[in-house]
Amino acid sequence: MTTSRRTGLGTAFVLGVIALALDASAAGIAKRAQPAAASPAAPAAQAAPNAPDPLTQAQAVLAGLSPASSTHDLAHAARGYGSIVDAARGAGVSDGYMKKLVHVTTELHKLATGKLMAIEDEAGDNEGALEQLYRSAAWDDLSFAMAAFPYWRSWLELTLAERSTRGDERIRLLKHARRGFRAASLQIFQPSLVYGGWLGLGFVAIAEGNRPRAISIFENLDTALAGDPGHPVKKAVGEQLRLMRENKAPTPIAAPAGANDAFDAGRLRAEAFALLERQRATQAGGREGVAKLRQLIDAGLMEMTLLSDILGYQKEVVREDLGIWGELVGAEFAFTSEQYYTAVQKYQKFFAQEPGAPGMNFDRFRYRHAVACLKSNLTDQAATLGEKLLRNPKLEAELRNAAIKLVYIARAQREQAKGTPESQQALQQAAQRFLSANPGDPDADGARLILAQSSGDTTTALKLLGSVKRPDTLGGGVQTARFFLIAREFAKFDPGASTQYSGIARQGMNAFDELPAEEKRNPENYAAYLQMRAVSDTVPEDVVKAIDLAERKGDIGSSARKALLWARIRCYERLGQPERLAAWLQQPGTGQLEGWQLELVYPWVKALPDGDVKRMMTASLKPLLANLPDMDRRFRLMEITSLLADRRNDEAYEAAAAFNKQYPKAGDGWVQLARTARLTNRTAEAESAWKVITDRTDADSAVWQEGMLARIEMKSESTDPQAACPLVADVKAHPPKAPPEFTAQIAVHDAKLGCTPAAKE
């Protein structure tokens, strides 16, 4: 049986997305431990006596880069820059020397920032080009460089702050250092920067005299790196905690007056939100309110409840300067306003230099980032972000379920647009995970349909389709999938198994009746339906008429044409009128026969029980096989075997001789010539033909054994029986892997002839 069906997804999914309310619960730092790069967070090594001067090295790095440098070169420079900073800090260089190094580091940061601006300017308003940038390795390189250079500079500024005796200068330097460490602390794809950034923030807290905050940061880092006891940051954290617990930490720099005073912070916060409320009511006071928020943020007092309160005034603060937090506010405002692509860009900028502190949890925003990607048709990015969320073992249950659904929807949309084997597998995994987690979700029916379509087991697939709760929401997808599955099962049965065959055919016909009208008109579906009718309809002649009508439409593909020919053959078979196929193949308008048609016709003709009908079919097809030599050979050989079966040996010989003359290189032709020549007492010709065969074939082949036995028998029956002895000797000299009866027959001839071992041909 031949059938073909499209395997696409259902046509009407409900691709809704859950919107979660903000949860301001705090969570400790829990990052994945990965091997870290060299970090100045660890005690700086002393420079080797002959090592190049750190400042000279830094200036050489800067001189070796330019606006035309590749993003890879910038990232490479940023990764190696830590050894220069370590050397300078460990060598005890002067303040002036270190400030020059700070300046060089700043210029390197400007180069990285300028490179990004140049690439974005080149993309202009082309959203596709911008999307490509934000997905590229170039973006990863630039994100790293733009965070790494400020990170290394922060260690230099922290060192200068620790040395300074001027309070205002210390405050300024610590503020700058804290900003760089914060930017590094959220480079989620660069764990070394994350850990180093948090460690730097801990040392800044010590320098500001905020011992509880420093201990909290160090303890959280120590917990986060519990699985990697050899990590250099964990070692540095452990040593610092030990010193602080033994009161051996260096005397901290005094914090600015009121900077961490709880009463002042509370007053600032109350005043800020009072001004924002006034802005909402009277359109005045917003800028002053944001200025007070900046004081809280710059003092390192951002936490989840403050962030939640700020986001309650998105409209009032979205155009004001909140530093990197402004990108998050802008992203949330764009998301709420359904400006999803803008939201994607702002989420990306925020997470590229995500500020944070122990207790901050951005999972909810990461989820909304993924939703914004989905709404912007960035389905791959949405699925990737969702799967990253799911890898977090501490992700809250409600958010986990939402992310599972989001990944499933993103994979489904992606597959509808541009499916590949890899994306199909990813979709199946996402659908199974979604169905397991949310079996009662309205969209779970779509997952059941996807899994049914992709299942290799028909019983399992039909069970999944039967569990769909609202098939009407899937636009005929369930009915179409059921018909496809039954058609696939129908294709597995042997037409001879009439009871099973008719049963599955009737199921398929019933499933076809349930299809939407559009699917019924699909040529492939209709051809498969006619195949089922061909084996089960009580009036085969009606099916032939339906096949004729379908073929005359002229807009059907090769797979449907193949299915219709298969159905036609079955109908003629049931009607007992095989000659009608020959007439149909020869009728005007049928066109030149194609190989695929004969691949269906040949086995059917070969299986016909009546030799006369078989030969009539072969004769009628001969004129149509002139341009198909392979099929011509197969039909003519079938004709010879048919004549032999009916003991029409002379006709078989004539046919074999004609075949051998036309196809002298065909081994089957020589075999038939040898057989028919012997049957018609043309012994010399039979011997000659069998010799051609045995000389060209391997001794282990059945045809070689048949040929050698025939040659031995013919020579044994000749006037010179001893002429068979060299052939017997040849068989014995090259004993084939032959059936026992062949060996036994050779032994009988050997004994009867009395051949000597020295006999040679």
Distance from C-alpha of 485 to C-alpha of 503, rounded to nearest angstrom: 15
Rounded to two decimals, the pTM is: 0.45
In three-state secondary structure terms, 208 is coil
* Virtual torsion, Cα 406, 408, 411, 412, nearest 10 deg: -110
Who contacts 414 (Cβ-Cβ below 8 Å, separation ≥6)? Answer: 379, 380, 383, 423, 427
Cβ proximity of 201 and 217 under 8 Å: yes
**φ and ψ at 672, to 5 degrees?**
-65, -35
- What digits encode the pLDDT tens for the residues 34-70? 222 223 332 222 333 444 688 888 898 899 888 888 8
Which tokens belong to 584? 């149909």
- What digits encode the pLDDT tens for the residues 415-468? 554 555 565 666 666 666 766 566 666 666 666 666 656 655 666 666 656 666
Residue 390, pLDDT score: 86
pLDDT at 532 over 90: no
* Virtual torsion, Cα 379, 381, 387, 390, nearest 10 deg: -100
Residue 37, pLDDT score: 28
How far from chain centre, in Å, is Cα 454? 15
Distance from C-alpha of 3 to C-alpha of 527, rounded to nearest angstrom: 8
Running DSSP on this structure, what letter comes out for residue 35?
P
Distance from C-alpha of 350 to C-alpha of 144, rounded to nearest angstrom: 14
Which tokens belong to 349? 């900028």
What average pLDDT does range 554-574 have in this prediction?
Answer: 84
- What digits encode the pLDDT tens for the residues 182-202? 888 766 556 677 788 888 898
Distance from C-alpha of 599 to C-alpha of 602, rounded to nearest angstrom: 6
Could you tell me the sign of the dihedral formed by the alpha carbons of 527, 530, 534, 535, in that order?
positive
Distance from C-alpha of 439 to C-alpha of 431, rounded to nearest angstrom: 11
Cβ proximity of 728 and 756 under 8 Å: no
Angle at 116 between CA 113 and CA 120, to 5 degrees: 140
pLDDT at 7 over 90: no
Distance from C-alpha of 199 to C-alpha of 31, rounded to nearest angstrom: 14
Per-domain residue ranges of the chain:
1-16+444-577, 54-245, 697-761
Please give the single-letter amino acid code of residue 115. Answer: K
Which tokens belong to 266? 């509370």
Cβ proximity of 4 and 383 under 8 Å: no
List alpha helices for 438-557, DSSP H.
444-454, 458-466, 477-490, 498-513, 517-521, 523-536, 540-552
Residue 30, pLDDT score: 21
* Virtual torsion, Cα 58, 60, 62, 66, nearest 10 deg: -160
- What digits encode the pLDDT tens for the residues 79-126? 888 888 888 887 778 888 989 999 999 999 999 888 888 877 776 666
Residue 261, pLDDT score: 36
In this structure, CATH architecture of domain 54-245 = Up-down Bundle (1.20)
Closest to 524 (Cα-Cα) out of 1, 2, 3, 7 = 3
In three-state secondary structure terms, 27 is strand
pLDDT at 486 over 60: yes
- What digits encode the pLDDT tens for the residues 623-675? 777 777 888 888 888 888 889 888 999 998 998 999 889 888 888 889 989 89
Radius of gyration in angstroms for the set of CA atoms belonging to the chain, rounded to a whole number = 42
* Count of CB atoms situated within 10 Å of the CB of 11: 14
Distance from C-alpha of 4 to C-alpha of 565, rounded to nearest angstrom: 13
Closest to 670 (Cα-Cα) out of 684, 681, 659, 679 = 659
- What digits encode the pLDDT tens for the residues 336-378? 888 888 998 989 889 888 776 556 888 889 899 989 988 888 8
- What digits encode the pLDDT tens for the residues 203-214? 888 888 888 888
Cα–Cα separations (whole angstroms), residue 390 to 366, 367, 397, 433? 11, 10, 10, 11
Could you tell me the sign of the dihedral formed by the alpha carbons of 485, 486, 488, 493, in that order?
positive
Please give the single-letter amino acid code of residue 610. Answer: D
Angle at 368 between CA 192 and CA 10, to 5 degrees: 115
Cβ proximity of 183 and 116 under 8 Å: no
pLDDT at 308 over 80: yes
